[in-house]
């Protein structure tokens, strides 16, 4: 908490310093009474980016990683002199982990702070809230989180030419590892998730792929948020003889269920494959309950890619030696670097230039490996890692071991009117 | 799984779920059931108990001692809260409702400021499952269920078998007369309130290894605890808490045999409304 205050204050100080400097420069220019000089001064000013992060409220910790991921990248870019001779300036929009405040922050950043583009938001609901604002004002939004994929009926939250997606979708997170899981643990899958859009859509698109890979669904249950008892669900899972619990319970519910699975001695008969429990949640589970289970994402702190070491070192220097991050922070980091590359490539900072620059862009410096922004549907082609939770892990860094890695996971084409 | 072992395992699950829920609701049953304070801070008290347990076990204190510390800490907070605020509002149910809600909000924010919003694990002190041959049970839950049952009977014994219990019952039945007979009414109220808070703290500590410790963990049990007390019958500490917990928690395990868990949960709450329609004072209250 105090740390988040510190970052916020630092942000404000930095911003006011820069503001002060540009005002001074402006005053000097006015004194010269030469409008031409004023224009040149402002053109060489910083490129302003609005970063919409949940820096307080329920998601403070993840939100800080989310913001820091982006800031790390812009610090790296600024240290090399910026883009087109201009530095990046970040303006934080804290929406307090409340989707309803996203609209307010997006409006403030774009209309008052006059940012050149925005990055961030966490959940799909957040992104859907920000999307109408960026559509109306014609700004680009860079979205970092894993999510359910694009369906044109949900425009403008998806299938939007102003949105670029830097997190994985189920076809990347899940499909590449189905064969491995069936071969290693068996073909019977029990699908258990929290009752909202992302788990349902993930399971729905996974089912045909699972069947094609020779697997079968032996049960499917969605439970409401804050369910205190999972005894009945567990009995259903035991009776189904499932080999794999394909798992998208989130937050406290995930912990309640996994505690019960372990406590009841059923964990040895069923392995969990989660598509939601990353470093933060696994930390809250502890090593005893989580050992032996699988998780799949585009990024983990434990992956062995050479880019990752430098990424983690920089992150630690920024956020402290024990700081934890997850896929979302990596998504934000990639978003900032790729935006810089896009601006460099197209030679200007306008919305159109950024959009054209991002389409088809490849970034080899991503912590998870090489990534590529698909031109048609603005979906990032990413590596996909299936990781096993290590027995007796001690920190987020040695939490997982690589089980199955796909270096280039192509997402299924978005269900939109393509190209965007 | 054959029919017998299924029946045994369902019955066992129902008993465990019932008693774990009863543990969570017991403190509320005292405070709401006996002195009529609609304590919306009950969930927050569970949460504080869990945080104290997490913080102290984290510092190397054994689990059992940590849970007792949790109970004492919450009892102490309850004592201060009662002494400085609640006792001035005993006859005003709506005001106490708002005050205890305020307590919940302040507590939650303070927890967030001190501990942040991340969830923390509390390692279960008993990890090996209990294998009865016919059914395998989560050993720690069996332990919690045992403690729960013991405490319910202990509270009931004090209530029905001791002089102190007589005084409390007298105060509940007729405050003026009890006062005229020399019972210290303020002290009785304070005692019940503080013990109720302590039990909530204890429950929070015991629930910590089952759930996860986070600023909102108590909320999971807040609404259910109220249902338990109202269904069982306000003031029915012994039978009411157990019957209410079975109806709100344990019975779901049985309904889930014939439907999905989510549907079973809906049936349970639907049933609760129907029961209250015909027995507005709870199952065990005739009035």
CA distance A288 to chain B (A): 8
The rounded distance, in Å, linking the Cα atoms of B66 and B208 is 11
CATH classification of the domain holding B139:
1.10.3470
Q: Does a structural domain hold residue B287?
A: no
Residues ≥6 apart with Cβ < 8 Å to B184: none
Is 60 exceeded by the pLDDT of residue A20? no
Query: Cβ–Cβ of B265/A227 closer than 8 Å?
Result: yes
ipTM comes to: 0.91
Q: Residue A23: pLDDT band by 50, 70, 90 thresholds?
A: very low
In the predicted model, what is the mean pLDDT of residues A289-306? 96
Compute the half-sphere exposure of residue A255: CA atoms within 13 Å on the CB side of its CA. 28
In the predicted model, what is the mean pLDDT of residues A7-20? 43
Nearest CA in chain A to B141: A263
Interface-testing mutation among A228, A257, A286, with chain B (most B C-beta atoms within 10 A): A228
Residues of A in contact with B258 (CB under 8 A): none
Q: A1 at the B interface (CB within 8 A)?
A: yes
A389: β partners = A400
Ranges of chain B with pLDDT below 50: none
Nearest CB among B127, B212, B264 relative to A284 is that of B212
The rounded distance, in Å, linking the Cα atoms of B12 and B6 is 10
Q: A57 at the B interface (CB within 8 A)?
A: yes
Q: Does a structural domain hold residue B147?
A: yes
Instruction: Check: CB of residue A55 under 8 Å from CB of residue A94.
Output: yes
Compute the half-sphere exposure of residue A384: CA atoms within 13 Å on the CB side of its CA. 23
Query: Cβ–Cβ of B220/A264 closer than 8 Å?
Result: no
- What digits encode the pLDDT tens for the residues A158-217? 999 999 999 999 999 999 999 999 999 999 999 999 999 899 999 999 999 999 999 999
Q: A227 at the B interface (CB within 8 A)?
A: yes
Is 60 exceeded by the pLDDT of residue A266? yes
Q: Does a structural domain hold residue B112?
A: yes
Question: Which three-class secondary structure state does DSSP give residue A174?
Answer: coil
Q: Does a structural domain hold residue B285?
A: no
Q: Does a structural domain hold residue B283?
A: no
State the residue range of the domain holding B103: 3-278
Query: Cβ–Cβ of A284/B211 closer than 8 Å?
Result: no
Q: Does a structural domain hold residue B164?
A: yes
The rounded distance, in Å, linking the Cα atoms of A287 and A297 is 19
The whole-number pLDDT of residue B33 equals: 86
DSSP designation for A151: B
Query: Cβ–Cβ of A228/B219 closer than 8 Å?
Result: no
- What digits encode the pLDDT tens for the residues A132-171? 999 999 999 999 999 999 999 999 999 999 999 999 999 9
Residues of A in contact with B210 (CB under 8 A): 256, 259-260, 263
Q: Does a structural domain hold residue B284?
A: no
Q: A289 at the B interface (CB within 8 A)?
A: yes
The whole-number pLDDT of residue A59 equals: 87
| Average confidence score pLDDT of chain A | 90
Is 60 exceeded by the pLDDT of residue A418? yes
In the predicted model, what is the mean pLDDT of residues A304-308? 95
- What digits encode the pLDDT tens for the residues A33-85? 444 444 444 456 999 999 999 998 888 889 999 999 999 999 999 999 999 99
Instruction: Check: CB of residue B286 under 8 Å from CB of residue B277.
Output: no
Distances (CA, A) of B137 to A113, A240, B50, B129, B134: 59, 19, 23, 6, 10
The whole-number pLDDT of residue A14 equals: 44
The whole-number pLDDT of residue A297 equals: 97
The domain tally of chain B equals 1
Q: A238 at the B interface (CB within 8 A)?
A: yes
The whole-number pLDDT of residue A31 equals: 41
Nearest CB among B136, B216, B261 relative to A232 is that of B261
Q: Which residue has the tokens 């029919």?
A: B3
Interface-testing mutation among B108, B133, B220, with chain A (most A C-beta atoms within 10 A): B220
Q: A222 at the B interface (CB within 8 A)?
A: yes
Query: Cβ–Cβ of A238/B1 closer than 8 Å?
Result: yes
Q: A364 at the B interface (CB within 8 A)?
A: no
Q: How many Cβ pairs closer than 8 A exist between chain A and B?
A: 115
Q: Does a structural domain hold residue B286?
A: no
Query: Cβ–Cβ of A255/B131 closer than 8 Å?
Result: no
């Amino acid at each position: 908490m105090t740390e988040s205050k510190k970052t916020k204050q630092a942000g404000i100080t930095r911003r006011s310093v820069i503001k002060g400097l540009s005002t001074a420069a402006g005053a000097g220019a006015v004194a010269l009474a030469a409008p031409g000089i004023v224009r040149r001064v402002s053109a060489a000013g910083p490129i302003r980016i609005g970063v919409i992060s949940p820096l307080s409220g329920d998601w403070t910790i993840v939100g800080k990683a989310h913001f820091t991921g982006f800031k790390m990248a812009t610090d790296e870019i600024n240290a090399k002199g910026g883009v087109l001779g201009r530095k990046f300036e970040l303006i934080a929009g804290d929406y307090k982990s409340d989707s309803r405040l996203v609209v307010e922050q997006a409006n403030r950043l774009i209309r008052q702070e006059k940012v050149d583009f925005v990055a961030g938001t966490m959940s799909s609901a957040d992104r859907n809230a920000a999307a109408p604002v960026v559509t109306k004002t014609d700004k680009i939004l860079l979205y970092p989180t894993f999510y359910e994929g694009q369906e044109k009926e949900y425009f403008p939250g998806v299938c939007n030419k102003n949105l670029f997606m830097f997190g994985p979708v189920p076809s990347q997170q899940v499909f590449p590892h189905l064969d491995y899981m069936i071969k290693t643990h068996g073909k019977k899958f029990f699908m258990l998730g929290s009752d909202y859009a992302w788990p349902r859509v993930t399971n729905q698109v996974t089912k045909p792929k699972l069947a094609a890979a020779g697997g079968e669904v032996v049960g499917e249950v969605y439970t409401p948020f804050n369910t205190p008892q999972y005894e009945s669900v567990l009995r259903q899972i035991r009776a189904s003889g499932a080999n794999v619990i394909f798992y998208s319970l989130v937050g406290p519910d995930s912990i309640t269920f996994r505690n019960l699975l372990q406590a009841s001695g059923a964990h040895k008969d069923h392995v969990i494959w989660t598509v939601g429990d990353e470093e933060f949640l696994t930390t809250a589970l502890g090593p005893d309950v989580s050992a032996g289970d699988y998780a799949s994402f585009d990024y983990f702190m434990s992956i062995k890619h050479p880019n990752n070491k430098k990424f983690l070192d920089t992150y630690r220097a920024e956020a402290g030696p024990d700081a934890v991050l997850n896929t979302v922070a990596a998504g934000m980091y990639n978003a900032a670097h790729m935006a810089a590359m896009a601006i460099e490539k197209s030679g200007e900072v306008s919305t159109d230039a950024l959009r054209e620059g991002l389409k088809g862009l490849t970034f080899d410096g991503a912590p998870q490996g090489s990534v590529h922004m698909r031109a048609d549907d603005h979906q990032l082609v990413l590596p996909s890692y299936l990781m096993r939770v290590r027995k007796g892990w001690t920190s987020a860094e040695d939490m997982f071991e690589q089980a199955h890695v796909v270096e280039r996971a192509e997402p299924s084409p978005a269900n939109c009117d393509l190209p965007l | 799984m054959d029919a017998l072992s299924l029946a045994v395992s369902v019955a066992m699950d129902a008993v465990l779920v019932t008693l774990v829920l009863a543990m969570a609701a017991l403190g509320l049953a005292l405070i709401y059931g006996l002195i009529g304070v609609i304590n919306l801070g009950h969930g927050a008290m569970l949460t504080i108990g869990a945080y104290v347990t997490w913080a102290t076990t984290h510092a190397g204190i054994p689990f059992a001692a940590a849970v007792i510390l949790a109970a004492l800490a919450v009892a102490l907070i309850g004592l201060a809260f009662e002494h400085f605020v609640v006792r001035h509002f005993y006859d005003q149910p709506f005001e106490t409702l708002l005050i205890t809600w305020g307590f919940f909000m302040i507590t939650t924010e303070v927890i967030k400021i001190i501990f942040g919003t991340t969830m923390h694990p509390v390692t279960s002190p008993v990890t090996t499952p209990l294998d009865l041959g016919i059914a395998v049970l989560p050993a720690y839950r069996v332990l919690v269920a045992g403690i729960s049952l013991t405490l319910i009977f202990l509270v009931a014994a004090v209530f029905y078998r001791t002089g102190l219990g007589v005084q409390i019952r007298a105060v509940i039945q007729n405050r003026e007369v009890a006062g005229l007979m020399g019972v210290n009414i303020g002290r009785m109220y304070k005692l019940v309130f503080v013990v109720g808070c302590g039990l909530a703290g204890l429950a929070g500590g015991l629930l910590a290894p089952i759930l996860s410790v986070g600023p909102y963990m108590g909320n999971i049990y807040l609404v259910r605890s109220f249902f338990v007390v109202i269904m069982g019958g306000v003031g029915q500490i012994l039978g009411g808490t157990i019957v209410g917990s079975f109806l709100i928690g344990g019975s779901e395990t049985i309904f889930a045999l014939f439907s999905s868990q989510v549907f079973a949960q809906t049936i349970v709450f639907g049933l609760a409304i129907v029961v209250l329609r015909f027995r507005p004072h709870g199952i065990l209250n005739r009035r």
